Amino acid sequence: MRKIGVLTSGGDSPGMNACIAGLVKKCYENGIEIVGVKNGYRGFLDKDYVKLDMNAIEGISKRGGTILRTARLPELKELSVQKQIAEEIKVQNMDAIVVLGGDGSLRGANDLSKLGINVIGIPCTIDNNVYGSEYTIGYDTAQNKTLQVINDIEDTADAMPGRVFLVETLGAEYGFLAYAAYQAGAADMFLVPEIPFEEEKICKNIKDILEKKKKYVIITICEGLGRTYEISKKIEKELGIHVRITIIGHQQRGGTPSAYERIQAVAFAEMAIDAVLKGTSNKIIVYRNGKHLMTDFFEVSMRKDLSTTNVTYR
């Protein structure tokens, strides 16, 4: 009987549990033993495992977070730690491991693959920053959370005109979430690390919007800029307008995953197990042009950002 391990690594994202459930179901249907590795890669060092069966996944698809828990392991960059984990995987007789995580976690998976470990990666991060994939598990739910917050803000913005609202999104140095709100028509402007901007132009745009279009202005700003309060003070000083800051924070990570998220998570999971059944290894499952595909790990080393999608500042 084949045996695989599955782990969730790095920042959690809505849909991880749905993906775990999809993996377990597919393994059950094909006679594959599947073991959960607790707390990401650290679980290999701590020998912390849990048997996954149909009972273990009952009702988990609707839950945010991850039943396996997650962690970051900076030491994974060290070759000695990589070798220790690779040896433990062999001791556990795992034919392959499936890694659910973002770009950093998938780079770690790539390092293990170079030591002879069969690895399949599934991109899971609200940041949507895995190169080669248009979508990562968790991104859709996080987008919806952003829109929900902005929709609520608009109620009070409309009730008391003349204010500016800065809404800070997660995403580290990647501005996909901030830009998505603009794309969806929920924000008047967006500020992200990938695209240069001038504070004077921001103030001019705000003035134009208030004079010609709306009674209030909503701007999304990516946390990675690290300048939310600085920009707020600049706007207040230049325009004499009250600026209200909303930091969404980790609310974007939690909560029930969207229907789209759950459907995608299962599709990723099924392709991952299909790869194991075919003897394919050292691949990442990606979503591109409406299809789930397998690509090589080398793409993980490349940076995916807004500047590569021909976005200009507005």
Residue positions annotated with a catalytic role: 127
Distance CA 73, CA 32 (A): 28
Distance CA 289, CA 287 (A): 7
Instruction: Count the alpha carbons within 13 Å of 70 in the hemisphere toward its beta carbon.
Output: 24
Please, what is the Cα angle at 292 between 290 and 294, to 5 degrees? 140
Give Rg (Cα) of the chain. 21
Q: Which residues contact 264 (CB under 8 A, 6 or more apart)?
A: 15, 135, 137, 140, 287
Closest alpha carbon to 193 in 170, 209, 164, 165: 170
Distance CA 163, CA 3 (A): 58
Closest alpha carbon to 89 in 70, 69, 108: 108
Amino acid at 159: A
Distance CA 87, CA 92 (A): 9
